[in-house]
Amino acid sequence: MAGAARAGKGSGYSDLEHALAFAAGRLSSDTPILTTVHSLQFIEEAIPREVHDIPVDYIVTREQVIETQTSLPRPKGTYWKLLPPEKIEAIPALRRMAAHLPDLT
């Protein structure tokens, strides 16, 4: 299962939490990424993937733990240009970080 493409529900909040934790030094590039899903949510076909999507190393269902052995690249920080201004404004941690980025203020 080399293409375990992403975690989350598609709204980007898991991606942002990962980026913020990475920026704060709470995660490293080799920290395992796990997600829990109901076995009915698990699909094996390819789904669209964006540059900010977090590939998962393990998928945990009630019945099993699946090691994905993904080779997909991990995001490299916060992709500011992809964030709508409303989302930056709505999330205090992003708003504080954005205030220090000259091309976003």
25-62 confidence digits (pLDDT tens): 888 888 999 988 888 876 676 666 777 788 889 989 89
Nearest to 66 by CA among 44, 99, 46: 44
Sequence-distant (6+) residues with CB within 8 A of 18 are 27, 33, 54, 75
- pLDDT grade, residue 10 (50/70/90)? low
pTM for this entry = 0.72
pLDDT one-digit tens code per residue, 89-104: 988 988 888 888 877 6
pLDDT at 2: 46
